[in-house]
Amino acid sequence: MSVLKLRGFEIHKGFLDLKEQTVLLEAVRKIAKFAPVFSPMTPYGKPMSVKMTSAGMFGWYSDAQGYEYRRVHPNGMTWPAIPAEVLNIWKIVSGVEREPECCLVNFYDQNAKMGLHQDRDEANFDFPVVSVSLGDEGLLRVGGTERGGKTDSVWLQSGDVVVMGGEARLAYHGVDRIRFGSSSLLAKSGRINLTLRVVN
C-alpha cells in the first residue's frame, strides 16, 4: 500500500486486498438487490451513463429539478444500511469521528463516464468524501475549485481508496473512461465506485 497526493486528493493505492474487495463486492450486490440501480436524469434532461443506487440514511438523487439527497429510493423504500466493511474504511481514512450518512454506489459499464463536477450537495464541507473503487480501472480527472482550470489524471484500480477532503473537498473531479475488462473482480466486467458522505 502507498499513499499518493493528486491536487489534494489522497490516494491510498491498494488499500483493499483481493479478499477484502471480494467481501465488499458481495456487500454491494446485497445493496443493489434491495435498492436496484437506476439511471438518474440530469437537470439537463439526459440520463446519466453511470447507474446508481445508495445505502445509508440518505441516497443521492437527480432529476429535471436538480440534485438532492433523499430518504427513500425511487421505488419508495428506505435505503439499506451502509455495510460494516464500508464504515470501517471510513473509520480508518476519513480522520473524523462522525459516520457517513450516504454511501453512493456508482456502476460504470463499458462506455460510462462522469463529467467534471464538485460534490457540493452536502451541508458541511469540513467532512471529506471517501471513494472506494472496485473492478475495472477508471481514469479519474482532478482539477481545482474553479471550473475550467488545469487538471491532472490518475488511473484508479480495484481496491484503491481516495480521500477528497481539506482544501480539495470542493475540487472538480470526474471519470473520463474505464478500461473495460481490465479487472477480473466482476464476472461481467465494469467498474463500481462507492462514495461515502456526511450529508447533514
Q: What is the CA radius of gyration of the chain?
A: 15
Q: Which of 86, 67, 136 is nearest to 108 (CA)?
A: 136
Q: What angle do CA 52, 58, 62 make, to 5 degrees?
A: 45
Q: Is 138 in the site for ligand SIN (CB under 6 A)?
A: yes
Q: Is 194 in the site for ligand SIN (CB under 6 A)?
A: no
Q: Is 21 in the site for ligand SIN (CB under 6 A)?
A: no
Spell 147-186 as b/e; 16+ CB within 10 A means b. Answer: eeeebeebebbbbbbbbbbeebbbbbbbbeebebebbebb
Query: Nearest distance from residue 115's CB to ligand SIN, in Å?
Result: 10
140 binds, among Mn ion, ligand SIN, none (CB under 5 to 8 A by kind): ligand SIN
Q: Is 106 in the site for ligand SIN (CB under 6 A)?
A: yes
Q: Among 10, 119, 136, 137, which residue interacts with Mn ion (rule: CB under 5 A)?
A: 119
Site for ligand SIN, rule CB under 6 A: 106, 114, 131, 138, 140, 156, 173, 175, 193, 195
